[in-house]
Each structure stands twice: as structure tokens, then as C-alpha cells.
């Protein structure tokens, strides 16, 4: 290293390399020096990687923000590349939350500072790609207020990414795997929404002391991310606003398009909700077990929203929700135990063992003026020195009181009469419309049961009626007749019936798993529209309802095309269920046989094989490779 920097001791070892305490002899200041690990055995490639690292890391010096560690210098010597940064004396967030989860005031401050940092970075087009509690450093200002700084910003994207084999062991990535967005496992391009997902995972752990996505092995943690296996925050943590729970679950949605577009959008929603002086608080009570089904994708919480009255149909896709819509909580009916056997005790939800505690300045510092850890005397107005006393304000008295007019009274009565007539007419009109609609629905049911009927014209409103009826039908015969209508429905007003059907079947929590499976096989299978394939595939990848997922794969087999092939490979590789893996393999084989770009698809299979060491995952990939040849 140049003579400019002196190494004065090792601070620690991170996922990107070792960190040393150093001294800048030219600027007379202490600095932190990070040795970056460039993992490659090829000398030429290593030199090229180092040159690229120095070139791109230099751009990080332009990122000046109070909540981001400043980069002073980058360079390389005989020991490899290094980055010189400001030295921070403080603690990492993971060290602090080991003691106890954060209180609401501390979490609020943490969220505001971290989002401000992400906004500044995203304005310059920079992504961190390795956000985790150990990369969030907290220091205390003289006033006692803590200041958060994100370290290693952008450095993770400049080094070679870990291989899938490395990800099999949690220790290999130094804890990053618990906070990595699903798209990082899928090796697709990252964007600002990937950082928001990781930050949402950090927020979840900061409030609960637990990882949102966990497992005994690295493989288990990956599967938890990919299948979105997470306990809702409001089931674990109490004493925080309920909208905060919804907000964090919004950040960690499985698909990037269901998260905030940017840190600016996330902060805007946070601030709007934070203005509500009397928010509904989380009780931290886990709900009774519900039938297996897809976890709804939560819409962004509305500012100062009041609890919505329950409706028959629950909108669960934020793209289909009206502005300001907050999804109501679906309270499932209690399940009666079977009399023949003793019921198994329901698993207890994870509980926070240690009560949340405020973040206080280090021992020996002056007490913080921002916390209630010490008493602050009430500030009283000065005692008046003269005999003058404040006089009570006089109420306003009008100089004259207007007299009521007989003409005005007549006008009031006339207006009230007109309003009554208008309301009465509106009610009668609605009843007539409802009567005509009921007759129309009956006609549709008769048409569907008539042999030779190939299609039934239907508006969007009529489709919604039949979807509600399908969810609330109390007999199998009624369901069967409704399913016939839905299978033959054809839009009469430009509505996208296939998209609405697919969305309802795959996202609503209003129907039981067996009803969902039947609707897939009896409605979507008969319609057979290729536009349904992407939604069905995403449902099959993320739902814990295996039977419905396998049913969806049967439809995908006949409707999917080349665009869905790579996603099917992900299911073949990573799904923990053997039946679903087999169904995905069958669907991928069907695509291979009918594709005009078979060679390109075989290359994708070969790429997956190179990145996979697991024997169970390799076997179906080898069969697909053989089928493609």
C-alpha cells in the first residue's frame, strides 16, 4: 500500500474482505481501510477485475450523504485492491438488537435515516445489493441522538457474486442470505426494489429479533425466500402501529413489482401514515390456523386509513386495488376438533423473548435529550411583575340577530321535499336494476346448462357477481353450475375475463383449497388461454397449496411458452415438493417439444446444470437436456 496510509490494526473480517484501522499521513486523520477480495484463480482475470473495481469504486466517492459512509480513496497494491473510507466509532445494528428489539421511536428514526440514504443512492443509480444489519453502523451525536450510516455501499456489486454452491452454507456469505431478495438467488438483474426487500428484512429483525426468512441450512433459507414463507409481522410484535406491520410486509413482497418502486415511494407512504395521531396498534396475536392457500400480496397502506367494512370479495393484488384501498383482515372460522382423536396442539407463534429497549448513548456519555431516560423539568411561564393580569377573551356577539323569514322557511321545505323525492327515486331505480340483474343471472345459468352453448356474453360487473357466488356457494351443485358459466364467459364490455379469473383464483383468500383446485381444472383448463400462463406459474411457484400448484402446472403445460421456461427450471431446481418438481419438469418438457427455439432453451438447462451441485436437482435437468436434444 502506498506510503500515504499506515495500518494500525485489524478491525474485523466481512463478506467482502478484511477491514483495518489506518492513518492517512497526508490528511492527518484516522481512516478505515477495506481489503477487497476478488475471488478468481485466473491471474489475468484478477487483474482485469481489479482495474474494473478501482474504476467503478471511484464513482462511490461522489455519494456524499450523512447516512452513508464516505469513500475517500480507492487503489491497489501487491496485496490487491483496497478502499479507504471514513472511520466510524460505533456499533453495528446486529450488535444492538442482540440485546433487545428496537422500541417504536428508535425504529421510526432508523427507518427515516435508512430510507433517506437509499433515496440519495438511487438518485445516482447505485444499488447496495448486500444490505444487512452488520452493514448498518450507529454512532451517537453529542446530543444523545443516534446517527445511522450504511457501509459498503455498492461494493458488493463490484466483486464476483457467490456461487450457488457457496450459498448452500449460511456461514459462506456471512449472514447475507437471510436478507437477500429472491431475484438474487435467481441470478436476474437487480434494481432499487432489491435493496428495499433487504431493508424490509432488516426492519423485521430489528422489531422482532428474528429473521423473517429462516431455516436450518442455507438451502432452507433460500427456499423460504423463494416461496415467501414468512410469519406476518403483526402476529409477532405488539405495541407498534398496525400500518407499520403492513408497510414492512409490503417491502418484502416476493415479486419486485409488488414492492414500492423506490425508496422515495416507500418513505412517502411511511410519512403519510405517521401523521395519524391515533393509529390502530398491533396486538401481536397470531391468528388461528387457516386452510393452506396463497399468501396475499399486500397493497401499500393508505394514509390515515380507517378500518374498512368487510366485503364479500377481498382484493389481494395491489395492481387491482383502487386508490387508497386497504385489504381487510380475513378472520377464519374456528376449526372444530375431530371427536375420534385428540387434536394436535397448534404450534405456538414465535414470541419476542426480550422486551424492546431504547437505544441509549454509550456508557459515560451525557444523557440524550431525545429520550425519557432522565427528567426534564416543566417549562413554566415567568411570573408577572406587575398587577396586570390577562383578561379572558370576550365571546363574539353579533350586533343584530337576523330574524327568520317565512319565505326562507318555504324554500327550505321545498328543497327537502325535492331531496326526498330524489332519494326515493334512486332507491326504486336500484331495486329495478337489481331485479333485472337477478333475471339476467338466472338466464346465464340456464344457457350454460344448455347443450350446444359455446359462449356467454358477460360484463365485468356480471363476472364479479359470479366470482362472489362461486366463493359463497353452499352446495356442490351450485358451484358446478357457476363454474360452467365462468368457463363459457366472453367479455361484452372489453373486460379481460381471463386475467380477472386467474387473479381471483390464485390470490383470493375467500375460497378453500379444494374449491381453488376445482376452479383451476374446471374453469381455467376449459378456457385454455395462453395469457393465463404467467399468473398461474407465479402462483405455482409461491403457494404452499401443493395440490392447487400441481393443478396449475397441468394448465401451464398446455398454455405456457418459451417465456415461462426459465421460471419452470427454477421450480424444478428449488421446489421442496417432489410432486410439484415432477409437474414442472413435465411442463418444461412440453415446451421443449413444441418450441422453435429449442437450442436456446437447452442452453438455459445447461446453465442451470453448471450452477447446481445438488443431485436431486441435477437429475430432472439432465432429463430435460436429453429431451431437448
Residue at a domain's end among 87, 107, 130: 87
pLDDT of the residue at 411: 77
Given 309, 343, 365, which residue is the final one in a domain?
A: 365
41 Rama class: left (phi>0) / alpha (psi -120 to 50) / beta = alpha
Q: In this model, does residue 68 exceed pLDDT 50? A: yes
pLDDT at position 281 over 60: yes
Cα separation, 127 vs 55, in Å, equals 16
CATH code of 199's domain? 1.10.510.10
Q: What is the pLDDT of residue 393?
A: 36
Ranges 96-110, 417-431, 479-493: which has the least confidence = 417-431
Q: Is residue 422 part of a domain?
A: no
CB 591 within 8 A of CB 564: yes
C-alpha cell at 60: 462511490
Spatial separation of the C-alpha atoms in residues 410 and 417, rounded to whole Å: 11
Query: Which band of pLDDT confidence, cut at 50, 70 and 90, is reported for residue 104?
Result: very high
Q: What is the mean pLDDT of residues 442-463?
A: 84
Instruction: Decide: helix, strand or coil at residue 349.
Output: coil
- The per-residue pLDDT for 614 is 78
If asked whether residues 200 and 262 sit together in one domain, one would say: yes
Containing structural domain, residue 565: 445-628
In a domain, 80, yes or no: yes
Task: Pick the range with the lowest mean pLDDT from 25-34, 47-56, 452-461, 581-590.
Answer: 47-56
Euclidean distance between CA atoms 360 and 346, whole angstroms? 39
Residue 379 lies in a domain: no
Q: Are residues 47 and 95 located together in one domain of the fold?
A: no
Q: Are residues 68 and 109 in the same domain?
A: no
Burial class (CB in 10 A: 0-12, 13-18, 19+), 243: buried
Among 407-416, 437-446, 479-488, the range with the most confident prediction by mean pLDDT is 479-488
End-to-end CA distance of the chain: 53
Grouping H, G, I as helix, E, B as strand and the rest as coil, residue 562 is helix
Last residue in a domain, options 69, 87, 105:
87
Q: Verify that 610 and 493 share a domain, yes or no.
A: yes
Cell of 55: 474504476
State whether 274 and 299 are in the same domain: yes
* Domain containing residue 5: CATH number: 3.30.200.20
DSSP state for residue 68 in the 8-state scheme: B
Judge whether 338 lies within some domain. Answer: no
* pLDDT computed for residue 82 by the predictor: 85
Per-residue pLDDT tens over the stretch 531-549: 898 999 988 888 888 899 9
Residue 424 within a domain? no
Q: Which residue has the cell 473510507?
A: 85
Residues 6+ apart with CB under 8 A from 96: 102, 138, 359
Extract the C-alpha cell encoding 359: 437505544
Same domain, 174 and 65: no
Domain-embedded: residue 381: no
Report pTM. 0.51
Q: Indicate which CATH number applies to the domain containing 485.
A: 1.25.10.10
Q: Is the model's pLDDT at 377 over the cut of 60?
A: no
The pLDDT tens digits for 289-345 are 333 334 444 445 444 444 444 333 343 444 444 444 444 444 444 444 444 444 444
Q: How far apart are CA 30 and CA 567, in angstroms?
A: 49
Question: In this structure, what DSSP letter does residue 327 have?
Answer: P
Answer yes or no: do 566 and 495 share one domain.
yes
Q: Are 256 and 194 members of one domain?
A: yes
Tell me whether residue 398 is in a domain: no
Say how many CA atoms lie within 13 Å of 47 toward its Cβ: 3
Task: Indicate whether 44 and 132 sit together in one domain.
Answer: no
b (16+ CB within 10 A) / e for 479-506? bebbbbbbbbbeeeeebebbebbbbbbb
4 with 130, same domain: the answer is no
Let me know if residue 407 belongs to a domain: no
Rounded to an integer, the average pLDDT of 183-204 is: 93
Backbone angles phi, psi at 430, to 5 degrees: -65, -40
Whole-number pLDDT of residue 15: 56
Q: Which of 63, 269, 210 is nearest to 150 (CA)?
A: 63
State whether the Cα torsion 153-158-164-169 is positive or negative.
Answer: negative
Strands 456-458 and 489-491: what pairing?
parallel
Are 127 and 15 in a shared domain?
no
| Span of 81-95, 117-131, 615-629 with lowest mean pLDDT | 615-629
- Domain check: are 42 and 100 in the same one? no
Q: What is the mean pLDDT of the chain?
A: 77
Continuous segment of H or E residues that includes residue 456:
strand 456-458
Q: How many domains, in total, are found in the chain? A: 3
Q: Which helix (H) or strand (E) element contains residue 249?
A: helix 242-251
Q: Which of 232-241, 308-317, 400-409 is least confident? A: 308-317
Distance of CA 234 to the CA centre of its chain: 14
- The pLDDT of residue 366: 66
Mean per-residue pLDDT for 75-79? Answer: 81
Amino acid at each position: 500500500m502506498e506510503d500515504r496510509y499506515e495500518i494500525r490494526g485489524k478491525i474485523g473480517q466481512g463478506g467482502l474482505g478484511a477491514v483495518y484501522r489506518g492513518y492517512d499521513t497526508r490528511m492527518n486523520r484516522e481512516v478505515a481501510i477495506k481489503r477487497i477480495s476478488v475471488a478468481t484463480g485466473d491471474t489475468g482475470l484478477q487483474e482485469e477485475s481489479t482495474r474494473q473495481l478501482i474504476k467503478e469504486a471511484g464513482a462511490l466517492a461522489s455519494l456524499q450523504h450523512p447516512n452513508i459512509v464516505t469513500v475517500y480513496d480507492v487503489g491497489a497494491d501487491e496485496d490487491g485492491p483496497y478502499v479507504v473510507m471514513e472511520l466510524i466509532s460505533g456499533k453495528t445494528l446486529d450488535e444492538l438488537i442482540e440485546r433487545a428489539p428496537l422500541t417504536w421511536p428508535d425504529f421510526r428514526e432508523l427507518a427515516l435515516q435508512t430510507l433517506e440514504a437509499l433515496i440519495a443512492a438511487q438518485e445516482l443509480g447505485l444499488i447496495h445489493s448486500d444490505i444487512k444489519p452488520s452493514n448498518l453502523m450507529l454512532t451517537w451525536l453529542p446530543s444523545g441522538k443516534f446517527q445511522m450510516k450504511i457501509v459498503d455501499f455498492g461494493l458488493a456489486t463490484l466483486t464476483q457474486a457467490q456461487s450457488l454452491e457457496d450459498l448452500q452454507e449460511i456461514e459462506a456469505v456471512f449472514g447475507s442470505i437471510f436478507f437477500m431478495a429472491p431475484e438474487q438467488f435467481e441470478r436476474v438483474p437487480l434494481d432499487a426494489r432489491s435493496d428495499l426487500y433487504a431493508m424490509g428484512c432488516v426492519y423485521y429483525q430489528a422489531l422482532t429479533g428474528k429473521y423473517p426468512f429462516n431455516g436450518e441450512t442455507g438451502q432452507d433459507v433460500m427456499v423460504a425466500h423463494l416461496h415467501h414463507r414468512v410469519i406476518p409481522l403483526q402476529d409477532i410484535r405488539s405495541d407498534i402501529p398496525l400500518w407499520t406491520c403492513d408497510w414492512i410486509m409490503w417491502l418484502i413482497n416476493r415479486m419486485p413489482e409488488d414492492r414500492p418502486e423506490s425508496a422515495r415511494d416507500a418513505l412517502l407512504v411511511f410519512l403519510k401514515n405517521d401523521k395519524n395521531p391515533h393509529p390502530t396498534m398491533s396486538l401481536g396475536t397470531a391468528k388461528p390456523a387457516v386452510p393452506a392457500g396463497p399468501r396475499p400480496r399486500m397493497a401499500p397502506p393508505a394514509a390515515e386509513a380507517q378500518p374498512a367494512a368487510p366485503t364479500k370479495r377481498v382484493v389481494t393484488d395491489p395492481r387491482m386495488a383502487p386508490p387508497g384501498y386497504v385489504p381487510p383482515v380475513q378472520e377464519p372460522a374456528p376449526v372444530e376438533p375431530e371427536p375420534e382423536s385428540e387434536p394436535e396442539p397448534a404450534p405456538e407463534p414465535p414470541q419476542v423473548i426480550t422486551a424492546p429497549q431504547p437505544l441509549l448513548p454509550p456508557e459515560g456519555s451525557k444523557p440524550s435529550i431525545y429520550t425519557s431516560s432522565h427528567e426534564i423539568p416543566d417549562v413554566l411561564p415567568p411570573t408577572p411583575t406587575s398587577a396586570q393580569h390577562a383578561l379572558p377573551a370576550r365571546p363574539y356577539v353579533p350586533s343584530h340577530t337576523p330574524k327568520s323569514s317565512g319565505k326562507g322557511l318555504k324554500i327550505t321545505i321545498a328543497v327537502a321535499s325535492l331531496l326526498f323525492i330524489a332519494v326515493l327515486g334512486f332507491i326504486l331505480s336500484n331495486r329495478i336494476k337489481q331485479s333485472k340483474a337477478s333475471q339476467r343471472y338466472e338466464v346465464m345459468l340456464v344457457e350454460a346448462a344448455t347443450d350446444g352453448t359455446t359462449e356467454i356474453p358477460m360484463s365485468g360487473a356480471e363476472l364479479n357477481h359470479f366470482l362472489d357466488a362461486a366463493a359463497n356457494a353452499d352446495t356442490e351443485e351450485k358451484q358446478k353450475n357457476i363454474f360452467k358459466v365462468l368457463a363459457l364467459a366472453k367479455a361484452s364490455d372489453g373486460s379481460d375475463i381471463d386475467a380477472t379469473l386467474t387473479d381471483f383464483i390464485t390470490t383470493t383468500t375467500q375460497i378453500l383449497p379444494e374449491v381453488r383446485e376445482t376452479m383451476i381444472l374446471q374453469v381455467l383448463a376449459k378456457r385454455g388461454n395462453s395469457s393465463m400462463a404467467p399468473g398461474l406459474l407465479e402462483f405455482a411457484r409461491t403457494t404452499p397449496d401443493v395440490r392447487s400448484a400441481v393443478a396449475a402446472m397441468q394448465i401451464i403445460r398446455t398454455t405456457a411458452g418459451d417465456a415461462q421456461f426459465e421460471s419452470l427450471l427454477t421450480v424444478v431446481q428449488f421446489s421442496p415438493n417432489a410432486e410439484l418438481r415432477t409437474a414442472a419438469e413435465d411442463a418444461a418438457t412440453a415446451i421443449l417439444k413444441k418450441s422453435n427455439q429449442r437450442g436456446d432453451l437447452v442452453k438455459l438447462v445447461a446453465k442451470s446444470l453448471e450452477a447446481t451441485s445438488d443431485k436431486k436437482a441435477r437429475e430432472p435437468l439432465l432429463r430435460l437436456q436429453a429431451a431437448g436434444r
